[in-house]
Structure 1
Amino acid sequence: MEVNATYVLPSDKCVHYTCEEINGQYVTKETKTTCPPYHPEDCETGTETTDANGCCKSCKIRNICEVKSKQTVIEVNGCTSVQSVNLTFCGGQCGSSSMYSAAANMMMHQCECCQEATTSQKQVQLSCADGSKVQHSYTMVETCSCNKAECVGGTTSKPQRRRRR
């Protein structure tokens, strides 16, 4: 291997070996590329790609917005449900992006939220400390979908232009 030449093993394209000369000594420098997490089961079919080096895989994450549930005791004004209730909610991933637009000379943000699409009302009986019983209405999520939302939060400032002199 020649000085400053790089060798990549065909079996592991994420490791590069470079021959360097340091104070008359020849040493091999090993450089490992760390890839971001990749979960093929979360990918939209047909969007899987590998970077130019053949090391890291990526894909377009598919929208995984679905109804989830958890057992919860409902408490309102000191009154609680006798039994836990199967409370449904939306959870998962939806698309979002932040990309520079030359036309607008700014970052353009697109966001989507995993939100309820259809709901229904359910009734549960609550028991109060004084022994009385109260009917309480709560919302059950039936279906969820990804909906456009306003992106808020951190923004980056525009780079300052330098004046020519």
Structure 2
Amino acid sequence: MPEKCCGTCVQTKCTLLTADNPKVYIEINKTYVSPEDKCVHYTCKKINGQLSTSQMTVICPYFNPLDCEPGTETTHANGCCKTCKPRSVCEVLSNKEVIKVGKCESPQPVNMTYCGGHCGSMSKYSAEANKMMHKCECCQEFKTSQKKVELTCDNGSKVQHLYVHVEACQCKPAECVPGTTTKPQRRRRR
């Protein structure tokens, strides 16, 4: 009896073993996203006649829920990264500095206060106006006082100097400066 010849098996899908051990079959040029970790994507590719599974991990931008307006947290459509509307944080900050005026300076560093943080801003297209509408806010001083410090000069004399001490800060409307976005230029034909 002549030997029968059987066909050979041809792999048509990639096989992936998942953490909880069930096998997942991925079709060629298709991507599988694990329900346990939506930031990891597995793709089945055919390379030189062989099937291979590649893994890609989505890197999300920095996210801290404490920086969010309450109730604005959302997850991107990819199901992986989180985003939110940033909370306006404008606060009094300080650092120690030696005050110098001409050839006079404070003998010791002085606690200098200033405003720092981020405030709301927006750039949004308006169909009614048919242009981009901008809203800008800056973190600025809201309440200040004057403080006095004694400066010692090179010649040994002492002078009184008044400086501004920031006590409170707030987000204030500001003029939006036109951006640096450039329009695409058309190439000239020669």
TM-score of the two chains, using structure 2 as the length reference: 0.76
Structure number with larger C-alpha Rg: 2
Q: % of aligned pairs identical?
A: 63
- Residue 57 of structure 2 corresponds to residue 32 of structure 1: yes
Q: Is the 8 A contact 1:106 1:158 kept in 2?
A: no
CA distance in 2: counterparts of 1:160 and 1:82, whole angstroms: 58
| Amino acid of the structure 2 residue aligned with 1:9 | S
Q: Counterparts of 1:1-165 in structure 2 under 5 Å?
A: 1-152=26-177, 154-157=179-182
Structure scoring higher RCO (CA < 8 A, sep ≥ 6) equals 1
Q: CA RMSD in A?
A: 2.0
- How many Å apart are 1:125 and its aligned residue? 1.0
- How many Å apart are 1:96 and its aligned residue? 1.4
- How many Å apart are 1:131 and its aligned residue? 1.4
- How many Å apart are 1:141 and its aligned residue? 0.4
CA distance in 2: counterparts of 1:13 and 1:126, whole angstroms: 61
| Amino acid of the structure 2 residue aligned with 1:45 | P
CA distance in 1: counterparts of 2:174 and 2:123, whole angstroms: 13
CA distance in 2: counterparts of 1:13 and 1:64, whole angstroms: 31
CA distance in 2: counterparts of 1:102 and 1:30, whole angstroms: 42
Unaligned runs of 5+ residues in structure 1 are: none
Relative distance call for 1:151 and 1:12 in structure 2 (3 A) is same
Bigger strand share: 1
- How many Å apart are 1:103 and its aligned residue? 3.5
CA distance in 2: counterparts of 1:131 and 1:9, whole angstroms: 74
| Amino acid of the structure 2 residue aligned with 1:44 | E
